[in-house]
Amino acid sequence: MRRRRSLVAVSAVLGGVLMLSACNDGGGDKSQGSSEAGKSQAEVDAAAAKDASKARIAITPKDGSTNVPLNDGTNVAVSDGTLTKVELKSSDGAAVAGKIAADGKSWKPDAALKRSTKYALAATAKDESGKEAHENASFTTLSPENSFVGSFVPEEGETVGVGMPVSITFNKPIKDQKAVQAAISVSSSSGQEVVGHWFGNQRLDFRPEQYWQANSTVTLKLALQGVQGAPGIVGAQNKTVTFKVGRSQVSTVDVKAKTMTVTRDGQVLKTIPISAGSPENPTYNGQMVISEKFKETRMDGSTVGFKNSEGKGEYDIKDVPHAMRLSTSGTFIHGNYWGADSIFGKVNTSHGCVGLNDAQGANDPNQPGAWFFDNSLIGDVVTVVNSPDKTIKPDNGLNGWNMPWAEWKAGPSA
C-alpha cells in the first residue's frame, strides 16, 4: 500500500523517520478458499478490519517528528485495550527504561531522553478478546538552536544489503551545501568511487555507481564540528561510523507474471508467487531498497489517502505480518494472511504493495512471507518490473539507484 492521494511526505532517513502505513492486499479470508478471490476489494478489506483487534494505540510524538522535547514529550496510550509491551530504543540500540501504568492504559519513559538522538518506539496492546494491535513510530529529539547535526543510516556495526545507501538527514536546512558535503566522506574497502547527492536542503545520500560489492566494509566520517551550514548555524558533530555489506541479494518482482525471483550471489534461491498492486492501484516500477523490517505492524489506509465515504481508512489491519518498507510513501513487501491462497501468482489485488502468502500471528516459518522476511536484510534490493505504473522517484525511500549515474554526480539543478 502506498500513496495515491494526499500522501504524507516524510524524509526517508536516519533511519527512516519513515511513516508506518501501508497497503492491504485483497482476496478474502483464507478459511473461505479460492471463492473469496471474487469478492470486491471493499468486502475483503471490511472483513479483515472487522476481525482485527479493537485496541487503539496512540503514540506521542507522531511518527517522523523532529525537535521532540527531552522531558515529557514521549508517551503511549491505549483505548479499548491494555498495553502489553512497549520498547523505546535510541539509534545506537540502547534501550530506554519505562513503565506501563498499573491499569495498562499508558506508558512513559523513566527519565529524560538524550539531545539530538533518533529513537524508535514499538508498542503492543491486546483487546478484551486477546487480539493484538501494534503501532510503531520514529522521532528525533531537539538540538540547540544555533547548531545542526546529521542523523544517518546505516548505523555503527550494522550488516546491510548491497543496495543500502549512506543517507544523512540534517535537523536544520543547509544553505552552504558545498561546505557541509566537503566535511563528510564515505569510502569502501572495495575501492568503489562513492559520490554524494542532495535531495532538498536537509538530505544528503552517498552511493557508488553500482551496488556495493558484497562483503565489503564502508566507512562514514562526519567532521561537521564548527562547519557553518547556514548563517549563524554551525555543525556540532564529529563521528566515524563503519558498517558491513553482506551477501548480494536482489529480488525481482514481475508484476505481469505475478512472481518474485530471489537471487543471492548470482544464484536463484527461490521463485515465490506474489500478488502486487491492482490495476486501479498499481505497484511502482524500479529498484527499491528495504529500509525497515517489522515482524508485525499496523497498516491504516487513511494515512496514505485510501479513505471511504465516511472519511475512515478503506482498511485498518493491526497485525500485518513480516512487513518490509520499500518507499516513504507507503510501499511495502509484506505477508498477507487475509487473501485467499488462490490469488498468489494469479491476481494482483493490493493497493500498491507486494503481498506474499502468510499466516496470522507471523509464527509459521513455512509461509513464503516468513521465509522472505527471515532471508532479507535491510539494504537488500527489490526490483519491480512489468508494472503499468511509473518508476519510483529516487528520493521516495532510499531509492537513489533509479537516478542515472551522470545525473547523480552532477547534483541537483540550480
Catalytic residues: 334, 353
Pairing of strands 132-141, 65-68: parallel
- The closest alpha carbon to 77, from 139, 137, 129, belongs to 137
Distance CA 384, CA 252 (A): 6
- CA distance linking residue 206 with residue 169, whole number of Å: 12
Supply 42's cell numbers.
471493499
DSSP string of 33-55, one letter each residue: GGGGGGS-HHHHHHHHHHTS---
Rounded Cα distance between 312 and 323, Å, is: 22
Closest by CA to 280, choosing from 26, 22, 20, is 26
Q: Which three cell numbers stand for residue 122?
A: 514499538
**How many whole angstroms separate alpha carbon 239 and alpha carbon 186?**
12
Q: Which of 351, 283, 257, 307 is nearest to 24 (CA)?
A: 351
Place of cell 520514529: 138
Spatial distance between the Cα atoms of 41 and 26, rounded to a whole number of angstroms? 5
CA distance 225 to 210: 31
Phi, psi (5° rounding) for residue 191?
A: 85, 5
Grid cell digits, residue 13? 532517513
Cα torsion angle, 341, 343, 345, 349, sign? negative
Residue 184: strand pairing partners: 222
Nearest in space to 351 (alpha carbons), one of 313, 391, 383, 294: 313
Torsion 28-30-31-36 (CA) sign: positive
The grid coordinates of residue 204 equal 544528503
- Residue pair 206/165 in contact by the 8 Å Cβ criterion: yes
